[in-house]
Amino acid sequence: MLDAVVVGGGPVGLFTGALLAHQGLDVQVLEQRTEPIRHSRAIGIHPPALEAFDGVGIARAIVSEGTRIRHGLLRSDGRTFGSLGFDGVSAAHPYIVALDQHRTEALIAARLEQLRPGSLRRGVQVRGLEQEADHVRLQVATGHGGSGLNARMVIGADGGNSLVRSACRIDVRTTVHGDQYLMGDFIDETPDGRAAVIWLEPQGVVESFPLPHGRRRWVVRLQSPVTDPTPELLSGLIQARTGTAVAASGNRMLSGFGVRTQTAGRMVAGRVVLVGDAAHQVSPIGGQGMNLGWLDAAALAPLLPDAANGSGEAKALDRFQGRRMRSAAIAARVAQLNMAMGRPVDGYRLRGRDLLLRALLTAGPRAALARAYSMRWL
């Protein structure tokens, strides 16, 4: 009988495993993939997540391998009309770290291995689960066949199409947004150094973020979906909207994506708790989804030992659920605002948007904006 099984070894499941192992729980993280995916995907790591990483000895490795973004610049029509600094958002980590998702996962997995060797089991797929009075029985499949596994608590960190969620018959509300984006990592030849830069242009937003090893992530909102994207198409769109030349030959990753928002009806069902994308998926525009999942894990971990042995206060998990669902709702609204700001506009709407942004970038609102973008209130 294990204390806890975490289903899913993505960024959120790995961190949940590390937190529980750090508390001395007998935990296993089950990941269906035999090998990690080598994709840069989610890159932004925010101060509250870094502070949670400090608690288990992960932050230092992430900060030293990543790129520290201390401020962002807002541009339009060839001019910089505002900047947002993260100085005041955290005493320990006054910056957002940019690091490729597969490297972040590798560093968390390495710490998990130190804390409880062998607890990450790759190539193990959870096929179903049943709740008993004092434990959960899981059906798992490996390359060698199926078997069963018992745990006091199960944490579903198995992503947007969560099997754990459907096995617990938890309903989910999904909204598909029309917005389409193309993103790519390129060799960075801009003069922007470690600044994040957002161009709000009439044809749609262009975002760029520095990455380690002299690369920069570019994200462009498309005016219509593209079936077969190329680096040349992306660099052409960047040049046309911002005037910045980005060599297509320096492309290192290219991917198009649409946006869906998804919210589970609840996060807690008996001895099963959902965290991360299994519980809530928000738009990648704003880069907060993975961090939101880490903060779920940080809020859940202290409650787990008592919940596992049945001595926990009955309402503790309900309060956890209420707080985390409120945070997810705020993050979803911030992401929707980001998407709205980046949609194509013209005429009086363009002038109205620029006036609003200038007002938001004055001293008082600017501090609040920096807190929102660095997830300080989530």
Among 245, 188, 237, 230, smallest CA distance to 211 is for 188
Interface residues for ligand FAD in 157-176 (CB under 6 A)?
157-159, 163
Question: Strand, helix or coil at 303?
Answer: helix
Are the C-beta atoms of residues 216 and 210 closer than 8 Å to each other? yes
Angle at 103 between CA 163 and CA 165, to 5 degrees: 10
Residue 90 as a binder of ligand FAD (CB under 6 A): the answer is no
Binding mask 265-294 for ligand FAD (x = CB under 6 A): -----------xx------x--xxxxx-x-
| 201: its two tokens | 């242009």
Nearest approach in angstroms of CB 216 to ligand FAD is: 14
Given 3-state DSSP classes, what are the helix, strand and coil percentages for the chain, each rounded to the nearest 5? 35, 30, 30
Q: Which residue has its beta carbon closest to ligand FAD?
A: 10
Nearest approach in angstroms of CB 351 to ligand FAD is: 31
Nearest approach in angstroms of CB 160 to ligand FAD is: 6
Q: Please, which residues bridge with residue 220 across strands?
A: 182, 206
Among 2, 4, 5, 11, binds ligand FAD (CB under 6 A): 11
Is 50 or 290 the residue whose CB approaches ligand FAD more closely?
A: 290
Is 126 or 370 the residue whose CB approaches ligand FAD more closely?
A: 126
Distances in whole angstroms, Cα of residue 33 to Cα of each of 16, 38, 77, 125, 128? 18, 12, 45, 8, 17
Q: With the CA atoms of 185, 187, 190 and 192 taken in that order, what torsion angle do they form, in degrees rounded to the nearest 10? A: 60
Residue 220 as a binder of ligand FAD (CB under 6 A): the answer is no
Residue 9 as a binder of ligand FAD (CB under 6 A): the answer is yes
Nearest approach in angstroms of CB 145 to ligand FAD is: 15
The DSSP string of 20-86 is HHHTT--EEEEES-SS--------EE-HHHHHHHHTTT-HHHHHHHSEEE-EEEEEETTEEEEEEE-
Interface residues for ligand FAD in 291-330 (CB under 6 A)?
291, 293
Binding mask 33-72 for ligand FAD (x = CB under 6 A): x-------xxxx----------------------------
Nearest approach in angstroms of CB 305 to ligand FAD is: 22
Is 184 or 345 the residue whose CB approaches ligand FAD more closely?
A: 184
Query: Distance (Å, rounded) from C-alpha 257 to C-alpha 169?
Result: 28
Nearest approach in angstroms of CB 325 to ligand FAD is: 15
Is 22 or 46 the residue whose CB approaches ligand FAD more closely?
A: 46
Length of the chain in residues, anyone? 378
Place of tokens 């903060």: 295
Interface residues for ligand FAD in 117-136 (CB under 6 A)?
125-126
Q: Which residues bind ligand FAD (CB under 6 A)?
A: 7-13, 30-33, 41-44, 125-126, 157-159, 163, 183, 257, 276-277, 284, 287-291, 293
